[in-house]
Every structure is written in structure tokens, then in C-alpha cells.
A = this chain, B = another copy of it.
Amino acid sequence: MKTELKAEPLYLKIKNHILGRIDSGEWMTTMRVPSENQLVKEFSVSRMTTNRALRELTDEGYLVRVAGVGTFVAELKAQSNPLEIHNIADEIRSRHHVYSAEVLKCEAIKVNDKIAAYMNIDTDVTLVHSLIIHKEQGIPIQLEDRLVNEDVVSGYGDQDFTKKTPYEYLIKQAPLQKVEHVVKAIMPTGSTKSLLDMSDQEACLLIERRTWTKGRVASTAKLYHPGSRYELSGLFKPE
């Protein structure tokens, strides 16, 4: 497992040495760790090297440093753990399954006040509305109901979304400054239920996503998933 013939960099040796002490529980939370100068002596390296090791471990959340005082094992940051939300086509392909899409709608629309406020635009702005079913092995797994501001993302309405998902097109076009996600469990409406081939008494996992580019809302999407066929999962490991 750890037979590097290639010679491990010195700063990494030091990082792993410290991580080992923390993982084993030998150095508990809030305990002091050796100073840069102590590590300089112990490992016979320069201070820049020990500084890099300790600085990177601090950036990664393992240590806390206080100038003039010392370096300490960080409190456990267990209150928040990341869950990743992937692009649906990539996710399906990563399971080595066949991805396909059915475009139900892709047209310009006028917006009402509620949507205008949600997207932070005037009511006279024209948006493109797309409605797409994403399928895994031919089975519906996501209904994507999306609004796009073409003032921010040009050419959206002219794409062939059976070839490339809207999300893939958007991130190529727009720098993508900020993304907001909300995950909910709901009961599907009649049309959502039939479009996704859902059974009676089946819940729906809904992801609402809003993306910003250059300070403006580029797009909003509602992603509906059959509860029996879709779930979000995430594995969080420090390092």
C-alpha cells in the first residue's frame, strides 16, 4: 500500500506523519502539535518545508494555527458533510448504462411576476422554456423543467438536447459563478407522474437548481425524479 519507490516529497512525509497521529487518535482534538521549528529538527528539513506541510493541513481543515501561540488539532467539522449533485447524463454513463433524452418542449415564453422575481428579471424579458425527459436504459429517471435567460446564455433555444444536456451546454457557455440547490420530497402532479411512468403512491424527489453568471440568474430548473428509481448519495472522507 505504501511502497513508493519514486521518493515521497518531504512535505508529504510530514503531512502523512501528522495525519497518522490524528487518525489513530494519538493526537486528540485541540491538542498542540509540534511547532515548525521542532519539525525542522525532527525531520532535518528547512522551515519552508514544515511550513508548507502545516499550512496545507490547516487549509484542509485538520489543524488550526494561531500566530504567536501554536498549532493545534482542529475541532471536528462534522456538522456539515458534502453531498454531490451530478449532471444526469454523466451519472448514468458512469454506471455504464445507456443514456437517452426526449425533448417535449423548447420554446420562447413570456414570464409572470413570480418567475420574474425568482429569476430577478423584468417581466418583459423573454425566456426559453425547455421540458426534457432523461432516461436510463430507456426508463424515465428525470424530468427537467428549465427556464433560461438568453440575454445571459445565447443560443440556448437552438440546441439539440438529445445530444448534449442543457446543463452541459450552460456550463460551456457561461462561467457559472454560483449554484443554488434545494432538495425536496413531494407528491407528483398527474402530468409529472405519467411522464415519469410513476406508480400510484410513489413519492417524487425534486431538485430545484438556480445558476448565476456574472451576477445574473442564467437559468432555473426543476428536476423531478421517481422516488423508487433515483436517490442522491455521497461518501465523505477526509483526505
Contact = CB atoms under 8 A, between A and B. Distances in A.
B76 A86 contact: no
A187 interface: yes
How many copies of this chain are found per oligomer?
A: 2
Q: Which of A48, A90, A167, A237 has the most CB of B within 10 A?
A: A237
Contact of A236 (B86, B178, B202, B205): B178
A7 interface: no
Contact of A203 (B25, B181, B203, B214): B203
Contact of A181 (B81, B86, B225): B81
A233 interface: yes
A160 B22 CA distance: 28
Interface stretch (A97-105, A109-117, A148-156, A169-177): A169-177
Contact of A80 (B79, B84, B204, B235): B84
A124 interface: no
Given A185-B205, A186-B185, A180 B82 contact: no
Interface in A3-26: 22-23, 25
Nearest to A85: B81
Given A76-B176, A83-B83, A84-B80, A182 B232 contact: yes
Contacts of A90: 79
B235 A178 contact: yes
A78 interface: yes
Given A171-B76, A175-B23, A233 B81 contact: no
A22 B214 CA distance: 11
Given A183-B205, A186-B227, 8 more contacts: A25-B175, A76-B172, A78-B87, A82-B84, A177-B238, A181-B232, A184-B205, A185-B186
A206 B23 CA distance: 30
A22 to B, nearest CB: 8
Given A79-B86, A79-B87, A180 B25 contact: no
A233 to B, nearest CB: 5
Nearest to A224: B185
Contacts of A204: 185, 203
A177 B23 contact: yes
A178 to B, nearest CB: 5
A84 to B, nearest CB: 4
